[in-house]
Structure 1
Amino acid sequence: MDLFRFPPFPDSLYDALGYPKEGKCSDILIISREEADAYYAAAERCFRDVDSAAEYFIGSRRLDELGIPDYAVPVIERTYREYMRHPHMLGRFDFAGGLDGLPIKLLEFNADTPFSIFEVSSLQYALAKHHELDPDHFQYNSLFEQLRDFFLDLLPAHAGRGVLFTNAADGEDDLNTLIIKDAAEHAGLTGTYLHWTDVCIDRERGLCSVDKSGTYIEKIFHLMIKMVPWDLLFLEDEHMARELLRSMERDPGLVVCNPPYAAVYQSKALLPFLRRIFPLNPHFLPADTAPLPGVDQVSKPIWGREGRNITFWENGGTTAATDGFYAQQPFIYQQKAELACDGTHYYQAGVFISAEVPCGLGFRRGTSRIITTDDAMVGHIVDHGDIRNRPALRRYLISLN
């Protein structure tokens, strides 16, 4: 693999995008078309198998094995059955390998509220456009367009009804949710944007907003685009989780994206079963709820995120670890997979999927094998013949092989 190591992106362009400048990376990875196609094919196959495994666990009433609370099961079962009315909006597969001949291996599926939506859909495009790399034709990135098409499908059922876009009060969450809202508006579906603390459930009226006093109900919503993960509600705000699910039971017309069954896809407790149910899928790694005998492996909490509370176990001992907030959760153990490495940085690929369609490829890199959200995103461009020979670009080219 090769890299264009460009000077820092001008602050004025970050300002125009509304994106923070600190610690951001201007490098662009050059990948082959075959590598890009392989990532997309892996995402398609993995989603198909994850969905089949979820169907099995839902149908056989085994959701407790995945960490799903009992009170969520009825609505999960119904929304999965009625998936055409409750479609899965967006998720991201995190893959090891895929570059320099390394096999593509699934690390996890961020199926509910994936980060990096803004960076993959907009920032890497703007970087490539700024350097005249023609991302419209040579970047695997239709994330915004696929989200727009997702909302076009929802438009007939929800036009003119109350639509809510919401997330916790966090800068990155704001960017991700506003990109989704922008895609919806391009499809003709307009709505209200609120932070999660300004949303409430009224027993009689359902999902609504409140005024500053927290008492007066201002708007009623029938479609909620929620960038607050179901598992976080299960663990940290059970009252709100129960009230939201009860509201969906009382009003079958209330749609929440991602739907409750996204928590089944999201649970890392599903990973050991994927390998057992689909042993011929080359992307699934051996995994279990107990340490794997005789292999180097990684332990991770079933509802962990952001690369927290992950430990590498190699040669009988710990070789790398991160701390975090998830130490009290159940853990799974997954055979170690090799990340592509340039001698300084490790590269992890993320492939977004919306309505079962792979639609955005991005890379995150770090100096540790445990990639976290603090590590930089690296844009990509698909090799198109003379790209390495352009005089204006040659001075930025670095071979990472």
Structure 2
Amino acid sequence: MHRIKTTPRNNWQKTVEGLGFGFHTTDVPYWDEAVYYSFTMPEIEKLETVTAELWDMCVQAVQHVIDNNLFEAFKIPAFIVPHIIDSWNNDAPAIYGRFDLWYDGIGEPKLIEFNADTPTSLFEASIVQWFWLKDFDEPKDQFNSLHEKLIDYWKYLKTYLHQDKLYFTCIKDSLEDFTTTAYMQDCAMQGGLETSFIYIEDIGWDNGNRCFVDLDNNPIRNIFKLYPYEWMVNEDFGQNIVADTQNAYWVEPTWKMILSNKAILPILWQLFPYHKNLLPSYFTRSNLKNYVKKPILSREGANITIVENEQVIANTEGEYGEEGYIFQELCKLPDFDGNYPVIGSWIVGQQPAGMGIRESDGLITSNTSRFVPHLIV
């Protein structure tokens, strides 16, 4: 694993915008092709193997949480628990997730956290960096079969859905969320599904028929949402999930609430203590001297505190933490000349499917961290 400086393509902004990538630069550069990371095939195979094993462990952890009624540790509201259990027992399939991994090309990859419900950076990982590679060095390859696997899994999912169109939804004011959602819709269409788009603010509720409806008052029976369940369950919207007489099919299913919560990290450590790809994680500080304190529900690196030798060495502000925290043993991100990468390793339909790299100037990956491409040598 090496970080290599290179020359960006001429007029690369226009090139990526032509792919539909409109948020390459915000207040700070987000897409950065002045560098890339190179990996050997054995390194990629290691990441692929670890991703598959982590997914298997996570599935076992969900069963453990349900069997032992551990929902309180996750601060999941009681009203949604029966829906979660039903979605699990009915094998409601999940389409995707992103494991954030520590990896330096030498040691064993370590799980930092799992973005299981609304993972972003999918379009960048699947499409944008692939076309960068084709322009940069056509014969080279990437750890990237995301596009093909997404289309194939939508085809598979079709048999689980109600015999009706599949709606795609996200909030109105996020170009990143819209791009990711539109990309997923495109993959579903290529998989042969009939689809429609609606902003989540425009989804209605029919009190008489007890069901979600679109702007034309048509029932919504299948829906992919890029909107966090932990937000939904604190709104009237979430209460309606349970009241829905149409039993709308949700992608991702509600059982992903268990995996998208950082409380899963101590559960994994309890179930698989000293596993080589896990970091010691607890609901209390325990005997940790060097640790990362994380809210069980937080996004984009908010409200993170890193402590080393009893001293705070990094922290971020935010509005999360009300539900509680977990404590994870500190494993400093690898340092490539003052740049700190996190491997985002994707799972699609139970299978490892590719990766993207987010790079930061510090030890906490946040919404200002850069996305950089990779290739295999």
Q: Same fold (TM over 0.5)?
A: yes
Q: Distance in 1 between matches of 2:202 and 2:7?
A: 42
Q: Deviations over 1:95-144 (max 9, x none)?
A: 012x2313211010110010101110111111111113446xx1111112
246, 254, 268: which one pairs with 1:251? 246
In the alignment, which of 357, 363, 372 is matched to residue 363 of structure 1? Answer: 357
- Change over 3 Å in CA distance of 1:42–1:220 after alignment to 2: same
- Residue 321 of structure 1 aligns with an amino acid whose one-letter code is N
Q: Is residue 63 from structure 1 mapped to residue 66 from structure 2 by the alignment?
A: no
1:189 is matched with which residue? 193
Q: CA deviation at 1:286?
A: 0.7
- State TM-score, norm by structure 1: 0.88
The answer as to 2:113 corresponding to 1:111 is: no
What per-residue deviation string (whole Å, max 9, x for no partner) do you get for residues 322-381 of structure 1? 111203230101001132221220010001112211112111001101011221111110
Q: How many residue pairs end up in the alignment?
A: 367
Q: Tell me, what secondary structure is at the counterpart of 1:312?
A: strand
2:225 aligns with 226
Which residue identity is paired with 1:251? Q
Q: Secondary structure at the match of 2:217?
A: strand
2:180 match: 176
After the TM superposition, which parts of structure 1 deviate over 6 Å for at least 4 consecutive aligned residues? Answer: none
2:266 alignment partner in structure 1: 272
Check whether the contact 1:292–1:335 (CA below 8 A) recurs between aligned residues.
no
Hey, what's the Cα distance between the residues in 1 that align with 2:135 and 2:76? 45
1:81-100 Cα offsets, whole Å, 9 max, x none, are: 011xx201111000012x23
Q: In structure 2, how many angstroms separate the alpha carbons of the residues matched to 1:371 and 1:273? A: 23
Alignment of 1:23-172 (within 5 A): 23=29, 24-26=31-33, 27-83=35-91, 86-97=92-103, 99-134=104-139, 138-158=141-161, 161-169=164-172, 170-172=174-176
Match of 1:19 in 2: 21
Larger fraction in helix:
1
Contact 1:67 1:267 in 2 (8 A): no
Amino acid at match of 2:102: A
Most deviating of 285-294 and 4-13: 4-13
Select between 161-170 and 105-114 the one with higher mean Cα deviation. 161-170
Q: RMSD value over aligned CA atoms?
A: 1.6
The one-letter code matched in structure 1 to 2:14 is S
TM-score between both structures, scaled by the size of structure 2? 0.93
> Which SS does the other structure have where 1:218 is aligned?
coil
Can you list the C-alpha shifts for 1:202-227, whole angstroms capped at 9, x where unaligned? 231512112xxxxxx43222110111
5+ unaligned residues in a row in structure 2: which ranges? none
Corresponding letter in the other structure for 1:25: D
Matches of 1:125 and 1:151, distance apart in 2: 21
Spell out, residue by residue over 1:176-199, the C-alpha distance to the aligned partner (whole angstroms, 9 max, x if none): 101100100111112111111011
Whether 2:289 is the aligned partner of 1:295: answer yes
Answer whether contact 2:297 2:321 (CA < 8 A) is retained.
no
Give the distance between the partners of 1:352 and 1:7, measured in 2 at CA. 26
Task: Tell me the amino acid that sits aligned with residue 281 of structure 2.
Answer: A
Q: Match of 2:181, as an amino acid? A: T
Who is 2:237 aligned against? Answer: 240
Q: Note if 1:325 corresponds to 2:314.
A: no
In structure 1, C-alpha distance between the alignment counterparts of 2:221 and 2:288, rounded to whole Å: 52
Residue 159 of structure 1, CA deviation? 7.8
CA contact (8 A) 1:133 1:381 kept: no
Contact 1:102 / 1:340 at 8 angstroms: preserved in 2? no
In 2, Cα distance between equivalents of 1:364 and 1:340: 12
Partner Cα separation in structure 2 for residue 40 and residue 81 of structure 1: 28
CA distance in 2, matches of 1:324, 1:2: 31
State the partner residue of 1:399: none
Q: Are 1:301 and 1:329, in contact at CA under 8 Å, matched by a contact in 2?
A: yes
Distance (Å, rounded) in 2 between the aligned partners of 1:285 and 1:159: 40
Q: Displacement, 1:6?
A: 2.2
| Structure 2 Cα separation of the partners of residues 294 and 266 of structure 1 | 24
Q: 1:93 is aligned with what amino acid?
A: F
Q: Output the CA distance in 2 between the equivalents of 1:46 and 1:64.
A: 24
Provide Cα deviations, 1:35-76, integer angstroms capped at 9, x if missing partner. Answer: 111111111111111111110111222212112110011010
CA distance in 2, matches of 1:381, 1:263: 33
CA displacement at 1:238 relative to structure 2: 2.6
Runs of at least 5 residues in structure 1 that lack an aligned partner in the other structure: 211-216, 384-401
Q: 2:288 & 2:297 partners in 1: Cα distance?
A: 26
* Percentage of identical aligned residues: 25
